[in-house]
Amino acid sequence: MLGMLSTKQYHRNGPDYRFGEQVDFLDIKQTFNLYHVRVGSWVTKDESLKAANLIFDSLADLAFILNLPPHAIGLRESLSLAFGHGGRKHVQAHYDVNARQLALAKNAGAGALAHEFWHAFDHYIADKVFVYSDVRKKFASDLWLLDQPMKPHPLNDRLHEVFKNVLLSDCGNHPHEFVKKGMQIDKKNQINYYSQPTEIMARAFEACIETETKIKNNYLVSGSLESKSLSLGVFPTKEHRHVIMQSMLNYFNPLGMALSK
């Protein structure tokens, strides 16, 4: 079914990084400095080309929004990408911790790229920021909530503010209302998902990318404005998003400047 990958189904108003040219997954690997890119054997050539343009534009938009050089998206060539390969049943996209791989389902990965990129970044940055011995399956957001000591660095201080603005109330002594909403959802449904710091941070990140920037790309991110999700508190409020985005830009802007040198 090629219709699922039709570019007409995805709204985007970002810059034309490709100058109208067709790209492929090798271009994605090289431009964004990814470790490996894998395309599923059931993906046709036409599907692959359409997806390559969509993913290229989305990763380029993400780099532009965060003021990062494109090569930084690959997290120092540690991040891999899979399209239509290695997916999970009923899951549109996921980040594989063991493989350090961001996997997009062929016909359902649209809108989840920003969310999964945050998971990859959260995992990658953990041992760069925190002092701890066990680096297996650890995320920076988990370590921050556990009060693990952070390595002294001005950028780490800014990342601390990102976590603080997402997870804690204004006074800094209690969980933010956004966190409490996640806990209520989990308690009601007897699950442990919406209240996990890794998931809270990913939802906060994708919500800000969708609404706190002039670039709109619903292949990169979509869904954080759905009325049901907003009423349940699955995503931050508009006011909370603004605060979060400012702290994220305060972190990523100088990081991007340093990486561009």
**pLDDT at residue 89, rounded to an integer:** 55
Q: Residue 44 and residue 22: Cα distance in Å, rounded?
A: 16
Is residue 145 within 8 A of residue 176, CB to CB? The reply is: no
pLDDT (tens place) for every residue of the chain, 261 residues total: 233 444 447 899 999 999 999 999 999 999 999 999 999 999 999 999 999 999 999 999 999 999 999 999 999 999 999 999 765 555 578 999 999 999 998 877 789 999 999 999 999 999 999 997 676 668 999 999 999 999 999 999 999 999 999 999 987 789 999 999 999 999 999 999 999 999 999 999 999 999 999 999 999 999 999 988 989 999 999 999 999 999 999 999 999 999 997
**pLDDT at residue 177, rounded to an integer:** 96
Domain limits, the chain? 14-114, 120-260
Q: Residue 127 and residue 144: Cα distance in Å, rounded?
A: 12
**pLDDT at residue 171, rounded to an integer:** 78
**pLDDT at residue 170, rounded to an integer:** 84
**pLDDT at residue 107, rounded to an integer:** 74
Q: Residue 52 and residue 41: Cα distance in Å, rounded?
A: 15
Phi and psi at residue 61, in whole multiples of 5°? -60, -45
Q: Is 135 exposed, middle or buried (0-12, 13-18, 19+ CB in 10 A)?
A: exposed
Nearest to 240 by CA among 221, 218, 212, 216: 212
Coil, strand or helix: which one is 104?
strand
**pLDDT at residue 85, rounded to an integer:** 78
Q: Residue 35 and residue 101: Cα distance in Å, rounded?
A: 9
**pLDDT at residue 241, rounded to an integer:** 98
**pLDDT at residue 201, rounded to an integer:** 98
